Amino acid sequence: MSALFILIGFSLLAAVGFLAAFVWSVRDGQFDDDYTPSVRILFDDTPEPSPPPAKKS
């Protein structure tokens, strides 16, 4: 029975740790821009200039 209390205490401690990490990331601005990452794949990359054609002799 004491193992159950230890596991409950450990899980509550882990939950508080994850909650603290979440609050820290929100205050740090991790979730400020949630629109751009979803459409970033749609943006075109800058095209690279093509090399000049090789001369055949």
Kindly list the distances between the CA atom of residue 32 and the CA atoms of 37, 41, 43, 49, 52, in Å, as whole numbers in the listed order: 11, 19, 20, 35, 44
d(CA 21, CA 33): 18
Q: What is the pLDDT of residue 51?
A: 81
Q: What is the pLDDT of residue 57?
A: 65
**Would you kindly state where each structural domain of the chain is located, as residue ranges?**
2-33
Q: What is the pLDDT of residue 38?
A: 77
Q: What is the pLDDT of residue 34?
A: 75
Q: What is the pLDDT of residue 33?
A: 78
Tens digits of residue pLDDT in 4-55: 999 999 999 999 999 999 999 999 988 887 777 778 778 777 777 888 888 7
Ramachandran angles phi, psi of 6, nearest 5°: -65, -45
